[in-house]
Amino acid sequence: MIPLLDKRDSEFKITEEVFKAAAENSHNGKEITTLLLDKCDSEFKITEEVLKAAAFFSKEIITLFFAKRDSEVKITEEVVKSAVGGFDSAEVMELLLDRRGSEVKITEEVVKSAVYSSFKATELLLNRCGTEVMITEDVLKAAAGIYYGSGAAMALLLDRRGAEVEITEKVVLAAAKHWSKEVMESLLDRRGAEVQITEKVVLAAAKNSSEEMMELLLDRRGDEVEITEKVVLAAAKNRGEVIEVLFDRRGTEVKEVASRTFIGCGPVEKSLLYVVVIGVSGIFSDVIGMIGKLRIRLIEDNCDQWVEKGTGPSFLSYGLFLWQLGNP
């Protein structure tokens, strides 16, 4: 790198993109950035885009900028969002607060980025910034949608600032969509009386790739879980084991709802619900054998009229059913 910088001519410019690439280099970004600052100091400025990259990837590079180009380091909302969502989130945020605390504005977007990305950064903001950290509905929705772990962020917000927030349907809905049941558990344990189990919430659980969410709702608030046509169809389309959970816990209701839902369904929906009614789930390779077995079961259940009247599954509808499972 040094020979390249020493021998370059006027056509070789150190641009913002070059500096961003150095800041994003997780292996030797600090060394390259130091070299660029030493060799090409007068050719560029520390822009917001460069700072965002540095704040996301490396505390060391931000420290370097403070040491060598302090007056050019401007702490904007976008820089702070990158910091709380980055690899060294808590460490970078602590540095920014220590060096430029008066410039660090804790907006709703910053808090959302923190709760979605980093428990440590969220905890730091609550400890250092106090009432500047506003816990809004959108912040709770972000906490319910975290990708990095369990329901720890939601529990932290409710424990520390629970009196300030309202548990709305949108928050509960976001929790019901989450892959981990621990987010919903945090809500139920701390604010159970405010958690309304609406059809939308149950529908979200029916679509959830993990059956644990439906199990939790049935275990903790089963009397509020209504088995509607939309819920049964969503569970039937789900590749997970939600439909099996519904059969185990509320099998009679599921069959009754599915039976009523046949009327007016298209071929794919009929196939899905046909499988639900008889309590079979999964992908079948032998379509002819499957239809034969299902006809026998339907006759046993006194439901053979669906097949005989042409309102039940056919080769075409089962073909569509299998195609849909393979092409969601």
Please tell me the predicted confidence (pLDDT) of residue 267.
52
Please tell me the predicted confidence (pLDDT) of residue 11.
52
CA–CA distance, 281 with 275 (Å, rounded to integer):
6
Are 141 and 107 in contact, with CB atoms under 8 Å apart? Answer: no
Please tell me the predicted confidence (pLDDT) of residue 42.
61
Q: How confident is the model at residue 316 (pLDDT cuts 50, 70, 90)?
A: very low
Sign of CA dihedral 267, 270, 272, 274: negative
Please tell me the predicted confidence (pLDDT) of residue 38.
79
Mean pLDDT of the chain: 78
Is the pTM of the predicted complex or chain greater than 0.75?
no
Are 35 and 69 in contact, with CB atoms under 8 Å apart? Answer: no
Please tell me the predicted confidence (pLDDT) of residue 147.
55
Tell me: pLDDT of 183 over 80: yes
Give per-residue pLDDT as tens, 230-251: 898 888 777 668 888 888 899 8
Q: How confident is the model at residue 10 (pLDDT cuts 50, 70, 90)?
A: low
At a CB cut-off of 8 Å and minimum separation 6, what does 241 contact?
Answer: 211, 281
CA–CA distance, 297 with 113 (Å, rounded to integer):
53
Give per-residue pLDDT as tens, 279-306: 444 433 333 344 433 333 333 444 433 4
Tell me: pLDDT of 112 over 70: yes
Between 320 and 176, the more confident residue is 176
Give per-residue pLDDT as tens, 192-222: 999 999 999 999 999 998 899 999 999 999 9
Degrees, nearest 5: CA angle 195-226-294 = 140
Helical spans, DSSP H, in 48-177: 48-57, 59-69, 77-84, 89-100, 108-117, 119-129, 137-144, 152-161, 169-177
Tell me: pLDDT of 177 over 80: yes
Number of Cβ within 10 Å of residue 125's Cβ equals 24
Tell me: pLDDT of 137 over 60: yes
Between 81 and 319, the more confident residue is 81
Are 156 and 119 in contact, with CB atoms under 8 Å apart? Answer: yes
Are 112 and 89 in contact, with CB atoms under 8 Å apart? Answer: no
Degrees, nearest 5: CA angle 314-317-323 = 140
Number of Cβ within 10 Å of residue 241's Cβ equals 18
Please tell me the predicted confidence (pLDDT) of residue 237.
75
Q: Name the residue ranges covered by the structural domains of the chain.
A: 1-74
Query: If you average pLDDT over each of 169-173, 176-180, 254-258, which comes out highest?
Result: 169-173
Number of Cβ within 10 Å of residue 226's Cβ equals 13
